[in-house]
Amino acid sequence: MGDLELLLPGEADVLVLGLRSFPLREMGSGGWNQQHENLEKLNMQAILDATASQGEPIQVLLVTHGKIPVLVEELIAVEMWKQKVFPVLCRLEDFKPLNTFPIYMVVHHEASIINLLETVFFHKEVCESAEDTVLDLVDYCHRKLTLLVARSGDSGPPEDDESRYSTPMQELQKQAELMEFEIALKALSVLRYITDCVDRQWSVLQTMQLVHSKYMQCLHPVCWFLSPGKLQQFEGSRWQTVAPSEQQKLSKLDGQVWIALYNLLLSPETRARYCLTSFAKGQLLKLRAFLTDTLLDQLPNLADLQSFLTQLALAEPQPPKKDLILEQIPEIWERLERENRGKWQAIAKYQLRHVFSPSEQDLRLQARRWAETYRLDVLEAVAPERPRCAYCSAEASKRCSRCQNEWYCCRECQVKHWEKHGKACVLAAQGDRAK
C-alpha cells in the first residue's frame, strides 16, 4: 500500500466487510461513531494508495464485498439528517451543547463518504458495482449541482468574520455551510466519473441526459470570484488569488465539467437515444461561446465537441418522441423520507438525550479515539498542500505544542486564536494523556 500505511491489508478487509447502513435515529451513536472512524481510515488509506500509484486495494475490497451501495445509502441518509433533523435539533430550547464535536462528526460524515467515493469512482468497475444505487447517486449529485449553480449568484467567498459566530453552534453552522460547498464540488467530480461508464449503465443514461443542463450552468464561474483588483479561484479546499498570467489556465474543476459534457454528448449510446428538440438544440449551441482557442489548446479533445456543435447548428431539430418510455427511478431518498416522515422532532429529541449530551469522560475517550484515527503523519501525507495558519491562512510552519492539531505562521497569530482554539486544545491534550 505504499511507503506509509495506515491499515494493514487484513485490517482493511475487516473494516470494509463491517460497513452497514444506520437508521437516522442512530446517527452519532457509539456504533455509528465506530463506523465513521473506520470510514475515515479507509478514506485516508485510499488517498495514500492513489498517491503512491501502487494499486488501490480499498477500491478492490469495496467492489469485492459489494459495499458501494451501502456507501451510497449512508451518503443519502446523512444528507437527509442534515436537512430534516439538524435544523430541528438546533431549534430545541434545551439544546445547549457544551461541546459540538459529536455533532460535527455527523455533519462531516457526508464529506467523508463523498471524498471516498470520489477517490474510488475513478475506476469503472466501481461504478458498475454500484448497481441500481448509481441512479440514487446521480440523483444526489444532481441536487448538489443545483446548490452549486444557485451559489454562483452569491457575492463571493464567505467572509471569515469571527465576531458573527459567538457561540459554538453558530460556528458549527458556519462550518457546515462551508463544507456544503466543498461537498458539491466533490459531487461534480463523482458525476464526471459516472459519465465515463454511461455506455455500460443503461438505466442511468436517461437520467444523465437531464443532468447535462446543470453541467452547462457550471461553466459559469461558480468556483471563481472577482474582487476589487484580483481574481480568486477555489482550489485545494480554499480560495486562492490567481495571477493575471494564470487566469486563462483551465482549472481541474472546469476540466471535469468539460470532460463530463464531452462524455454525455458524444457517447454513441447517448446520441442514439437523445431527442434533439428545438429547445435542446438551443441549449446545447450555447456551449460554442465557451469553446475558445485557448480552451482547445488545453483540452484538444474538445475539438470533436466543437465539430458536433457545428453539425448540430445545421441539422433540423427532431420532433418530440411519443413512444412509451419506461424509466427506472431512484428510490433511497423517497424510502428514507417515507420511513421517517413525521418523526423528525422525535429523532432530534432522542438524539439530544442519548447521543449529543455526552459526559466529560465520554468526550475524553472520544478525543482519544479521534487522535488515534487522525494520525498526524497520515494527515500531512494526504494534505493537498502545506499547512495554513489557523488564524490568518498564511503558510504555516509552527504547530500548537499542546495538542499538535493547529498550525500557525507566528506566535502572534497563535495568541490571537487562543480564545477560539483553547477549549478544543485542552480536550485534545486530555485525550492524549489518557492513552
pLDDT 10s digits, 356-410:
888 888 888 877 777 776 655 555 555 555 677 888 877 777 878 777 778 888 8
Which residues fall within 8 angstroms of residue 95, CB to CB, at 6 or more apart? 89, 352, 356
Count other C-beta atoms under 10 Å from residue 366's C-beta. 20
* pLDDT value, residue 429: 64
Give 322 or 305, the one with higher predicted confidence.
305
pTM score of the predicted model: 0.79
Which residues fall within 8 angstroms of residue 153, CB to CB, at 6 or more apart? none
| Domain parsing of the chain, residue ranges | 11-157+166-219+329-382
State whether the Cα torsion 3-6-11-17 is positive or negative.
Answer: negative
Beta bridge partners of 407: 399
> For residue 366, what is its C-alpha cell?
472520544
Please provide the average confidence, as pLDDT, over all residues in the chain: 80
Is the Cβ–Cβ distance between 212 and 140 less than 8 Å? no
Residue 241: phi and psi, rounded to 5, are: -75, 130
Is the Cβ–Cβ distance between 141 and 188 less than 8 Å? yes
The model's pLDDT over 83-103, given as tens digits with 9 standing for 90+, comes to: 999 999 988 888 887 778 888
Q: Can you tell me the mean pLDDT for 241-246?
A: 76
* pLDDT value, residue 247: 75
